[in-house]
Amino acid sequence: MHIRKTPPPRRDFVTPEDSIIAACRAMNASGLNQGTSGNISLRQGDGMLITPTSLAYDRMEPADLVTVGPDGRASGERRPSSEWRFHHDILRHRPDVNAVVHAHPVHATALALHGRGIPAVHYMVAIAGGADIRCAPYARFGTQGLSDVALAALEGRTACLLAHHGIIALGRTLEQALWLAEEIEVLARMYLTSLQLGEPPRLSDDEIEGVRTAMRGYAQV
């Protein structure tokens, strides 16, 4: 007699909400961020899905994520992150981007406290799209002014530092944006360490462009 085997339980696809929550928790577990100071968004149609303000990541549930429409209006059970403006503006102006990660990693933020970006001291600077990783001028958190300077610093780039604040990393996917944020922090740590011996030499613009060309075959770049 043929006995029908019970099919394995159906596994639902991971939702955008689940992905954001997992990325937030990974960001803090890795030391890339502390507390609720960071925020993450994902493109959703003409708008975006973003983390709420002032909610610990280990308490965050899918229903806590906030939808912000193309007109900047939020809907959901909670208020969006105070930094929703630059997330909204980046996704509106950058069709090549679907995810935005903002964090306060120690070494990159240490450079940003001095208003310094990361020059071409290591070839991996090219992963952000050019010969340096710029630092945007200071503007108060949550303001349109911060969004404006961030957009300018991200022109032709997928990452920037924010003076006296932190970093922004962009990606076609959330995994790519988180990976880039982690790489930026590593570069910042190397640069800060090298400064103990003096200002390190730079790679030329031509070399960085050659590195970018060589990197185009890799999945993350």
The proportion of the chain whose per-residue pLDDT surpasses 70, expressed as a percent, equals: 92
Task: Answer whether residue 9 is part of any domain.
Answer: no
The proportion of the chain whose per-residue pLDDT surpasses 90, expressed as a percent, equals: 90
Task: Answer whether residue 128 is part of any domain.
Answer: yes
DSSP per residue, 106-123: HHHHHHHHTT--B-SSSG
**pLDDT of 65 strictly over 90:** yes
Q: What is the pLDDT of residue 85?
A: 98
Q: What is the pLDDT of residue 14?
A: 83
Task: Answer whether residue 211 is part of any domain.
Answer: yes
105-121 average pLDDT score: 98
Q: What is the pLDDT of residue 27?
A: 95
Lookup: tokens for 132? 């340096």
Question: Which range has the worst mean pLDDT, 8-12, 118-122, 175-179?
Answer: 8-12
Band of residue 34 on the pLDDT scale cut at 50, 70, 90: very high
Question: Which range has the worst mean pLDDT, 9-18, 53-62, 89-98, 160-169?
Answer: 9-18
What is the arrangement of strands in the sheet containing 66-68, beginning at the earlier edge strand?
Answer: 74-75, 66-68, 47-50, 39-44, 99-103, 166-171, 159-162, 135-136
Residues annotated as catalytic (active site), given as ranges: 83
For tokens 């003076």, the residue is: 163
Q: Which domain holds residue 110?
A: 16-215
Q: What is the pLDDT of residue 62?
A: 96
174-182 average pLDDT score: 97
156-161 average pLDDT score: 98
Question: Which range has the worst mean pLDDT, 5-14, 77-86, 128-137, 182-191?
Answer: 5-14
Task: Answer whether residue 1 is part of any domain.
Answer: no
Q: What is the pLDDT of residue 220?
A: 55
How many angstroms separate the CA atoms of 132 and 119, rounded?
A: 4
How many angstroms separate the CA atoms of 137 and 141, rounded?
A: 12
- How many structural domains are present in the chain? 1
**pLDDT of 12 strictly over 80:** no
Q: What is the mean pLDDT of the chain?
A: 93
**pLDDT of 9 strictly over 70:** no
**Strands 47-50 and 39-44, sheet pairing:** antiparallel
Q: What is the pLDDT of residue 216?
A: 85
Q: Are 151 and 139 spatial neighbours (Cβ–Cβ below 8 Å)?
A: no
Q: What is the pLDDT of residue 101?
A: 98
**Closest to 145 (Cα-Cα) out of 86, 72, 74:** 86
CATH code assigned at 180: 3.40.225.10
Task: Answer whether residue 221 is part of any domain.
Answer: no
Task: Answer whether residue 87 is part of any domain.
Answer: yes
Task: Answer whether residue 11 is part of any domain.
Answer: no
Helix H or strand E encompassing 42: strand 39-44
Task: Answer whether residue 6 is part of any domain.
Answer: no
Q: What is the pLDDT of residue 5?
A: 43
Q: What is the pLDDT of residue 13?
A: 55
